Amino acid sequence: MSEVRVTKEENCSGCRLCALACSFFISPERAFSLSKSQIRVARTDGENRFKVGLLEDCLGCGICVDYCHYGVLSKE
């Protein structure tokens, strides 16, 4: 099974496209939600700098990789 990796976290712009795409394409509700996605983008140090992490139930489908336009994520 393929796996999504956070390869260049420092590139993250905080756009949340990854998380919103995940919730829409993968969740059974087919709805947009930050909290129902398998990828989390969290602000760090009170700045517009971000940590990105995959949750355990990530399917490895790579939809977030397709929607990240900043080269943060990759699929292996």
Partner 1 sequence: MEKAGGFAGSILYVDLSQRSVTKEPLSQELMGDFLGGAGINTKLAYDLIKPADDSLSPGNVLLIGAGPFVGTIIPGAGRCSATAKSPASGLFGSNTTGYFGTLKFAGYDHLVTKGKADRPVYLKIRDNEVEIRDASHIWGKDTWEATDAIWEELGQEYEVLSIGPAGENLVRSANIIGGKYSAFARTGLGAVMGSKNLKAIAVYGTGSIEVADVEAFTQLLDRLYKEFTAQAGLDGWRTYGTLISLEAMAKAGLYPHKNFQETGEADRCIEAFNLDNFAKLKVGDVACMSCPIGCKHFVELKEGKYAGLKLTVSCANAPTQSWGGPCAIEGWEEIFRCVELCNRLGLDYYDTAGLIAWAIELYKRRIIDNKDTQGLELDWGKADAIEELIQKIAHKDGFGEILAQGLIEAPKRIGRNSAYYLSQVKGIGLVFDPRVRHSVEVVSQSFNVRGAHDSALSVTMLPRTREKMIKFAERIGFPPRDAWDRVLAGPEGFNAARLSKWYEDNVTVLDSLGVCQFAPFQRPNIALWAELYSALTGIKKDATELLKTGERAWNIRRAFNLREGAARKDDTFPERTMREPVKFGDKEYSPFTQEHLTELIDDYYQERGWNSDGTISQEKLDELGLRL
Binders of ligand SF4 among residues 9 to 68 (CB under 6 A) are 12-18, 41, 50, 52, 67-68
In terms of CB distance, is 26 or 72 closer to ligand SF4?
72
- What whole-number distance in Å separates Cα of residue 52 and Cα of residue 28? 23
Angle at 27 between CA 23 and CA 33, to 5 degrees: 35
Find tokens 């602000």 and name the residue.
43
28 belongs to the binding site for partner 1 (CB under 8 A)? no
Q: Which residues pair with 54 in a beta bridge?
A: 39
Q: Which of 3, 42, 59, 76 binds partner 1 (CB under 8 A)?
A: 42
Q: Which of 4, 26, 54, 73 binds ligand SF4 (CB under 6 A)?
A: 73
- What whole-number distance in Å separates Cα of residue 76 and Cα of residue 73? 10
Binding site for ligand SF4 (CB under 6 A): 12-18, 41, 50, 52, 67-68, 70, 72-73
